[in-house]
Structure 1
Amino acid sequence: MSNGSNQQSETKPDSKTNSNTKTKKPSIVNVAVAVIHYKDQYFLGFRDATQHQGNRYEFVGGKIEANESAAQALIREVAEETGILLDNNTIVKLGRLHHDYGDKQVSLQVYKIQLTAEQYEQHKHREQGLEGQALTWVSKSQLLAGAYHLPAANKTILEWLKLPSKIAITYPLAHFGTHTDAAVAWLQYHQENLASESWVYIRLKNANSKHLAEQLMTARPDILTILPNNNEQLLDVEGSLTANETEIGQRIVAKHLTHSTLMQCFDKDGNPTALSQSLSKDYPLIVSCHDIASITAANKLANMRIQQGLPPVIGAFVSPVLATQTHPNDVPLGWEAWSALAKLADMPVIGLGGLEPVMLNQALQYGGISVAGIRQFI
């Protein structure tokens, strides 16, 4: 977990600054946010009308004091506001956000915490917090559908919460090269073997076979898909879309940027390139990162898209965690080094490389939110 040491305390005026100076930079309030849930039930408080961003629901949390980490602040604030003790729960970083409300700037360090069954039973009927605020449990579907009015900074958090715990990645088309018709074999295999209602990154690695993605999505209307960013025109059609094509477009949940594409979004001085401006403006992004430089680029891209009001970066594949058959020459990070990179990311981290679905708990312990792969996930 990140301790947020670079942005823990509220910005204070320099004691040496001339007292007659009229213009001061607005202070940044650093806040730890707890996305508390039990399975698909999420815990919200309600802000009083007299508070900043009042008459809105909110995730529980509060200001990070100068002498504590974000996680410590979160545990303290949740206990003070609700009586829920999180000392022994797994606290997983979702990401970091900066939001300017005009009258106040906030830097949010957001964590996701699942309660135990015992904790949920103890607190599920509580309608009022220890500070008199209204509390409620809401379903994930209602929360993501916007049924509860949250402060503007929370919009990105809701997008992050859409990420599933497991993501399947398709085999490349070349994997079926020994078949008489590789395209038919690819389509049949994935149509028959993808888990029901799963998120699937359709990675064909063949620019001339994007029609296969459309065919798979038509054959499996239950799946949600991630597509390569360079596949902007999934459907080669002119004029208006058919009902089927519109429905397929609605089941694209994100576009993916490879590591190399991500690194081309900024020049050597860190300035955005034309490529960063040409990325999908219709869908959220998921990026691939392998090192500190790419995590830095991902953070910069994520912040830029939020400032521009574009669909956010909702996740980062950080890889390879372990050795893989697909890339046997790549040196695996190992869990410790992977965790160190995960701490730096401003968006949810997805473990990739030599993993199995049963390793989800391990990924959570090391700071990830999800796991992905090919062989063990299809």
Structure 2
Amino acid sequence: MPSESDNQVDSSFHSEKVPTINVAVAVIHHQAQYLLGFRNAAQHQGNRYEFVGGKIESNENAEQALIREVAEETGIAICGNTMVKLGRLHHDYGDKHVSLQIYKVELTEQQYEQHKHCQYGLEGQALTWVNKADLLAGKYHLPAANKTILEWLSVPTAIAITYPLTHFDASSDPVAEWLTFHQNNLTANAWVYIRIKETGLESLAAQLMHVRPDIKVIVSYDTRTQSLLTEAPLAIKDTIIANPIIANHLSHTALLQWSDNTQDRVLSKNYPLIVSCHDAASIEAANKLAHARLQQQLPPVIGAFLSPVLMTQTHPDTVPLGWESWSALAQLADMPIIGLGGLSPTMIHQALEYGGISVAGIRQFFQ
């Protein structure tokens, strides 16, 4: 869980000439209903909707401030609710710097029923419950710093990863078998990371997108897969299809290379990034990348695969982190954490308990 030092901001992010406000933000929801306040015209960033939250006092950590602010503003007691860290944002409004520590808080049915009809908070501010789809569609005008939060909220609780082509070597036609398996066994509207390790399989990925236009696709950020990203809309046998790619994946190696040698290099200008992390060093690199993209006004880092949580069949000699160490590393990240390694979709509750927002994998993530 966050430490007492969480409300201290890395001075490298900000100029000391402009004041920095450290804020805890609660993304409160019950299932697909999300709670928003409304800032009056006289306030900073006025006439906009906002998530509940407020300034972290010097004697508080982020979670303590969150519990206090939510109680003061709405009367909702969240001390017994699971608070999952989504991430941290450092935003420059010109006249002030804001460091946001964002947590997702799900209310119980009883809490929601008790508060869903409240039109005003305890401080007189307007409150409204909004549908997640409308929120993500941008129907509610939020402060600029909140746009990344909406990207984070789009990440589902489960992400499938495609099998390597070698898994189907026993078949007389591994390529056709790969396509048939994934076409038939991906759940509806699934997020799927299509790994294209073998040269020449870019068209196979495109074929899967063609036969399953409902899926949301993550592809690696490398030179071989960029043709998929630049051909928008995609064309398969002269048939135009919508481009379902929603993010690029940056490997652990590529992330460290960027951090060590080429921090000035811009990665994936048009798509959000999901990165792979295994330790504190790679999480630090991911935080640098996330901050750089925010400064450059590029699509954000929307998640980090943190692995391996448990022992896996594919890497039996790799020592897993275990839930406790995984949780400690997750707290260091400035973006949502996705559990990977020996997990199944049913283990999302453990991931939430230990500070993650999603789980990913291969074997257990297909029908």
Normalising by structure 1, what TM-score? 0.91
Distance 1:317 1:377 in 2: 15
The one-letter code of the counterpart of 2:55 is: K
Contact kept, 8 Å, 2:73 with 2:121, in 1: the verdict is yes
The answer on 1:301 being equivalent to 2:289 is yes
SS in 2 for 1:111: strand
After superposition, give the CA deviation of every residue in 1:70-89 in whole Å (9 maximum; x if it has no partner): 00100100000000110110
Correspondence for 2:250 among 241, 251, 257: 257
Correspondence for 2:185 among 189, 193, 206: 193
Distance 2:316 2:197 in 1: 18
Instruction: State the partner residue of 1:310.
Output: 298
Contact kept, 8 Å, 1:8 with 1:65, in 2: the verdict is no
Correspondence for 1:113 among 94, 105, 123: 105
Q: Taking structure 1 as reference, are residues 4 and 33 closer, same or farther at Cα in structure 2, changes over 3 Å only? A: farther
SS in 2 for 1:52: coil
Contact kept, 8 Å, 1:9 with 1:65, in 2: the verdict is no
Instruction: State the partner residue of 1:373.
Output: 361
Contact kept, 8 Å, 2:161 with 2:194, in 1: the verdict is yes
After superposition, give the CA deviation of every residue in 1:29-83 in whole Å (9 maximum; x if it has no partner): 0000000011111100000111110110000000000111100100100000000
Correspondence for 1:159 among 147, 151, 163: 151
After superposition, give the CA deviation of every residue in 1:190-240 in whole Å (9 maximum; x if it has no partner): 111111111011113212101111111111111111011111111786x98
Q: How does 1:23-102 map to 2 (within 5 A)?
A: 25-102=17-94
Q: Taking structure 1 as reference, are residues 209 and 4 closer, same or farther at Cα in structure 2, changes over 3 Å only? A: farther
SS in 2 for 1:25: coil
Q: Taking structure 1 as reference, are residues 253 and 77 closer, same or farther at Cα in structure 2, changes over 3 Å only? A: same
Normalising by structure 2, what TM-score? 0.94
The answer on 1:220 being equivalent to 2:208 is no
The one-letter code of the counterpart of 2:268 is: S
Aligned residues: percent identity?
A: 65
Which aligned segments of 4 or more residues in structure 1 are displaced greater than 2 angstroms?
1-4, 6-11, 239-248
The one-letter code of the counterpart of 1:162 is: S
| Consecutive unaligned residues in structure 1, runs of 5 or more | 12-22
Instruction: State the partner residue of 1:327.
Output: 315
The answer on 1:356 being equivalent to 2:344 is yes
Correspondence for 1:283 among 264, 271, 275: 271
Q: Taking structure 1 as reference, are residues 193 and 4 closer, same or farther at Cα in structure 2, changes over 3 Å only? A: farther
Distance 1:10 1:181 in 2: 54
Q: Judge which range, 306-315 or 197-206, deviates more.
A: 197-206
Q: How does 1:172-187 map to 2 (within 5 A)?
A: 172-187=164-179
Distance 1:195 1:229 in 2: 24
Instruction: State the partner residue of 1:5.
Output: 5
SS in 2 for 1:281: coil
Distance 1:4 1:371 in 2: 28
Q: Tell me by how many angstroms 1:280 deviates.
A: 1.0
Contact kept, 8 Å, 1:201 with 1:227, in 2: the verdict is yes
| Consecutive unaligned residues in structure 2, runs of 5 or more | none
Contact kept, 8 Å, 2:156 with 2:191, in 1: the verdict is yes
Q: Taking structure 1 as reference, are residues 51 and 190 closer, same or farther at Cα in structure 2, changes over 3 Å only? A: same
Instruction: State the partner residue of 1:292.
Output: 280
After superposition, give the CA deviation of every residue in 1:245-291 in whole Å (9 maximum; x if it has no partner): 76432x111000110011110226xx615xx42x2111000000000
The answer on 1:267 being equivalent to 2:260 is yes
SS in 1 for 2:105: strand
Correspondence for 2:227 among 217, 229, 233: 233
Instruction: State the partner residue of 2:196.
Output: 204
Contact kept, 8 Å, 1:171 with 1:204, in 2: the verdict is no
The one-letter code of the counterpart of 2:227 is: Q
Q: Taking structure 1 as reference, are residues 242 and 205 closer, same or farther at Cα in structure 2, changes over 3 Å only? A: closer
The one-letter code of the counterpart of 2:263 is: P
Contact kept, 8 Å, 2:234 with 2:241, in 1: the verdict is no
Distance 2:239 2:19 in 1: 48
Distance 1:205 1:326 in 2: 15
The one-letter code of the counterpart of 2:28 is: I
Name the Cα RMSD after superposition: 2.0
Distance 1:52 1:10 in 2: 24
Contact kept, 8 Å, 2:7 with 2:61, in 1: the verdict is no
Q: Judge which range, 228-237 or 128-137, deviates more.
A: 228-237
After superposition, give the CA deviation of every residue in 1:318-371 in whole Å (9 maximum; x if it has no partner): 000000011112110000110011000000000000001111000001000000
SS in 2 for 1:262: helix
Q: Tell me by how many angstroms 1:7 deviates.
A: 3.2
Correspondence for 2:242 among 242, 248, 252: 248
